[in-house]
Amino acid sequence: MSLLSVRNLRVTFPTDHGPVDVVRGLSFDLGRERLGIVGESGSGKSMTGRAVMGLVPKPGRVTADELTFDGQDLRGLSEEAMRGLRGPAMSMVLQDPRFSLNPVIRIGDQIEEAMAVHGRLGKRDRRARMLDALSAVRITDPERVARLYPHEVSGGMGQRVMIAMMVVLEPALMIADEPTSALDVSVRGQVLDILADLVDRRGMGLMLISHDLNMVARWCDRILVMYHGEVVEELAAGALMEAQHPYTRGLVASLPKIDETRDRLPVLDRSRL
């Protein structure tokens, strides 16, 4: 049975010119695997992640024919019930640790809070688990880092802290929304390695949302290509070159390669989509 089943997911926002669908009838299944969702800005990929988490900002509306997580229908679930799932059952790593960590709370306290609000463990056990989680994201001196404030660590370290905070409750589903696009190129691979490794070892399902085709192809098993709120193509990560849809082909063609010489990089021709 799949971990997450989505059929005909729609996210709609009211505007002055009537309702606008930012996600238009999306369907996919996710098992305990690594699924990549790629698409350009505004293609609805981030909203898909937030819709699953029940965190679409007001006044957005989410509808679906099916939205099942681990056998549980998420549609019509109360806010309190959703809150109970967030953290222990599903979690999300956000884009930029400079903004996604609370600036005035110590790192250790922010991680422990995830356990505390779900009534998990006593104070001492929470602390031990927090330090374990920091070690698990390859922070060598967790005691020291736990006492720091977010502005005192680098972007790469901040994102590892974020990952530690989100895996500490061992959720079954991890959504990573552009987890590396705010980081230096030099630490992106490292952060993704850590994330992918944790996901594999703990048997989580991963939804990696990104605009970076190469990255998604390298770290995921399957790829959904989104364009304008819809999935235009679904393919195995290794089969990127065999893409059929003109949008995907256009994207692949426009990636520069280090081992070839081209006059001019092809540009996506939207008139043929």
Contacts of 239 (CB under 8 A, 6+ apart): none
The answer to whether residue 165 forms part of the interface with another protein (CB under 8 A) is yes
Backbone dihedral region for residue 80 (phi beyond 0: left; psi -120 to 50: alpha; all else: beta):
alpha
Least separation in angstroms between CB 146 and another protein? 14
Told to check if 41 binds another protein by CB under 8 A, we report: no
Binding another protein (rule: CB under 8 A), the pick from 72, 102, 154, 181 is 102
Task: Give the Cα separation of 81 and 64 in Å (integer).
Answer: 18
Q: Where are the beta strands (DSSP E) in the chain?
A: 4-15, 18-30, 34-38, 61-63, 66-69, 72-73, 90-93, 173-177, 205-210, 222-227, 230-236
Q: Which is nearer to another protein, 65 or 152 (CB)?
A: 152
Q: Is 147 in the site for another protein (CB under 8 A)?
A: no
Pairing relation of β-strands 72-73 and 66-69? antiparallel
**Euclidean distance between CA atoms 238 and 191, whole angstroms:** 22
| 119 is a contact residue toward another protein (CB under 8 A) | no
Measured between alpha carbons, how far is 252 from 185 in angstroms, rounded to an integer? 20
Contact stretch for another protein (CB under 8 A) within 113-121, 190-198, 219-227, 264-272: 113-121
For the chain, state the CA radius of gyration.
Answer: 19
> From the CB of 185, what's the least distance to another protein, in Å?
22
**219 phi and psi, to 5 degrees?**
-105, -5
Would you count residue 149 as binding another protein (CB under 8 A)? yes
Structure tokens at 8: 């005909």
Please tell me the count of residues contacting another protein according to CB under 8 A. 29
Q: Which of 39, 44, 87, 179 binds another protein (CB under 8 A)?
A: 87
Query: Minimal distance in Å, beta carbon 188 to another protein?
Result: 19
Q: Which helix (H) or strand (E) holds 113?
A: helix 107-116
Binding segment toward another protein, per CB under 8 A, in 12-20, 29-37, 60-68, 88-96: 88-96
Select from 66-74, 96-104, 125-133, 262-270 the region that touches another protein (CB under 8 A).
96-104
Q: Minimum distance between the CB of residue 170 and another protein, rounded to whole angstroms?
A: 13
Element (H, E) at 83: helix 79-85
CB of 220 to another protein, least distance (A): 21
Question: Which one, 3 or 92, has the nearer CB to another protein?
Answer: 92
Interface residues with another protein (CB under 8 A) are: 53, 55, 83-88, 91-92, 94-96, 99-105, 113-114, 117-118, 149, 151, 162, 165-166
